Structure 1
Amino acid sequence: MTSPAERAAQGKRARKHLARSAHGPWIPAADRPDPVVVLERQGADRLPDLLPIRYGRMSASPFAFYRGAAAVMAGDLAAIPHTGLSVQLCGDAHLLNFGLFASPERALLFDLNDFDETYPGPFEWDVKRLAASVVVAARDNGHSDKQAHRAALAGTQAYRTNLRRLAGLGELAVWYERIDAQDLLPLIRSARDRRRVEHTLAQATRRTSLHALGKLTETTPDGRRRIVHDPPLLQPAGVTDAAAIRKMFGDYRSTLTEDRRRLLDRYRFVDAARKVVGIGSVGTRCFIVLLAGRDADDPLFLQIKEATRSVVEEHTPYHGPYLHPGHRVVAGQRLLQAASDIFLGWMTGPQGRSFYWRQLRDMKGSADVGVMRPEDLLAYARLCGTALSRAHARSGDRIAIAAYLGGSDTFDRAVAAFALHYADQTLRDHATLLDAISSGVLTAAPGI
């Protein structure tokens, strides 16, 4: 087994391959693909009737565009030198892919919460994706570039310092690390901000399947419960889709552990519907399933999401161990999160398409980044950087990465500079999308 000293030496050698200060520049390649072409290529296998919703949502602002353009940035990151220090990437580590959720023990945790693009790759790709999202969000909020830079720098510094702390801990200590939502309150100074965070925590606690029952279902005249019809965002599954979902249910069940299969068997199928979610995922095949346990007032909502090839996969020099995209998502989530949904599973559906399953609502909550003041965004960037470093410490060689990062702020300043440059690129790419919509190249349905 390689010693900690040898692992640290490996990290320091990586500086010769790519100096920490070299992370700062961003100059697009002369043959950089048109971002609209990248999005169209990604949408070729998606549901065509939903693509205008995707483009409409991405057109709303540069930050909305950034959220949906993980494929664009993956290609950009692959075109520049990397450290060679690999982790299990989130693959789309922007600010809104962090949030609150319940652990199996019903504790409210803060962590990464989106893993559609997870794949092995250079650790700094996630760090740069996060830092650039901070700058793009700050500009959307009307913050100055100085304030945006400070927030990106704070997030990157939090990543580096926490990862260096974790490098000094034992394996089990790192594995059991987590960010408990209740531990955040003592860190908040102003009474106003504390009240807002307490409200967010309370809202997350209420977001359960029972809460969703009142929001997403209705009772028919004959007394049956069914998912409401709210096209195009929520549409009951047709006979063919419903039959396919029932068949997929058994295959999904087989990927759960024995105790969780036993729990799932106590529920019966009630209804299913197609549901549009997010920005980047719009157009993929996504469904929700309503199950009933002890009685009709004991619901369980499961979400079925199509898993496609990660946007990182075609660019990374590494190879993941999972051939099934749904298995890739589930395994990546279990590795990166401090605690994961007990109903995570995967299966293959009609036409050989891959899917993964999870609870639709399990005390989930997210920050309202769009209303954050500069000091709020800076604090939130620190929190996200800390959470990201914990995930990377579990999945990569934290000792080598910590040695590469070092005790100075050289890496922090370089990534913050990159974030400003890449935010400029996002602004140009967003304008390109708007031009494609106005010229009729793309059809967009804004406001949906």
Structure 2
Amino acid sequence: MTREVHLLTFGNTRSAGPWRHPAIDSTPEAVRRRLIDHVRAAEAATFDAVFFADGLNFGPPATWAYKTTEDFEPFTTAAALSSVTERIGLVLTGSATLQHPYHLARQLLSLDHLSGGRTGWNLVTSFARAAAENFSARDVVDHDERYRIADEAIDVVEKLWDSWGDGAVVADRAAGIYHDVTRIHVPDHHGPYFDVKGPLGAARSVQGRPVVFQAGSSDTGSVFAARHAEVIFTGQGDVDRARAFYRRIHDEAARQGRERPPLITPSLRFIVGSTEDEARRAEQTAYEYFSPEYQAGWLLEVDVDVTDADLDGPVPASAFPETTETHQTALAGYRALATDGNPTVREFLWRTVSGWGARVVGTPEQIADEIERWTSTQASDGFVLQDSGLPGQFRLFAEQVVPVLRKRGLFRHEYRGATLRDHLGLAVPANRYEVAS
């Protein structure tokens, strides 16, 4: 049986390398226009959603010289984009460890109403020291402790989202009564990390509540994701490892008593050309504009240090600590990239442009082949696409790869609903208080 692929695309605009391309204008107004064009192209191609990552800091100082400034804050950006689109989902990152759950719940549910039920929350546990320092935190919280905080944070957020029961809004003009207060639920949450009275002050949205995304891939993180996430964003560069991760999540979700496991959508960086030669030329252009200095600086956030290494020498073993409390999955992924085929530091840094996720360069048919290989063998349910940053690459995917996927019966020809849950095939979740009563 053919399974329909889920496709999302990154919407982030900050660039390190491709901004030097002569056809790219990096002024704020140009970035705004390019972002709107990108999201509209994704909607025209019936993508599930645009996905906004976020880091709550400008990155390690070693990166500052090499990247553009504008990377619009995701909540504001998604709100603006909701007014120039109609169907495509808007998934934005919010930190469960640095941002207060009341603010998160209110902002996300507000956007869900304003967008007509198209919002998703990518729940992260912030690991960057520079981010912690922006939020009065003296240092990064230990890895497993971050997940304990996040476990309570999502409980608070979902309680707040369920504050309004079905039928709470009566809008009785004659009596002057707008709410049946017996249907308003007060969370009155008191836990080790948060005290939140509530209620939120907003009814549930047309899709019930925002879709929860999560990116946990470590042992602790994958248990958390299997328990809470409706969609898991992950980095899996190898199809066999991806299949093992897929099975692990499904098994863990079953142990957690979930009737349906989360959808799994790894990142996929692509470069497409009408021919193989054209794709390789585009890859060479992307390589010419990539910034190894930026990549080396950014890796400091995950405790990988090649900043003083010879770019054309081997990757030193000393670049990788034995353990980390920042991002365990990233450390393991980058260590694997550094040891596969003994690349030079420059080659290793080029590989890290894709993160530790999947990567494909080729014709529309070859890219469709790779997507089909992953989704037909239970390595993924779809992908979050990352293009090279070169002008026109995403449009080529939309215009050339999407029709191939549709011809194979792997992707929709049109939206079959209006909400993000409709696109992802997810049911409207029950209100916890209504079920309990």
* Class of the TM-score when normalised by the shorter of the 2 chains: under 0.3
Higher normalized contact order (CA 8 Å, seq sep 6+, divided by chain length) = 1
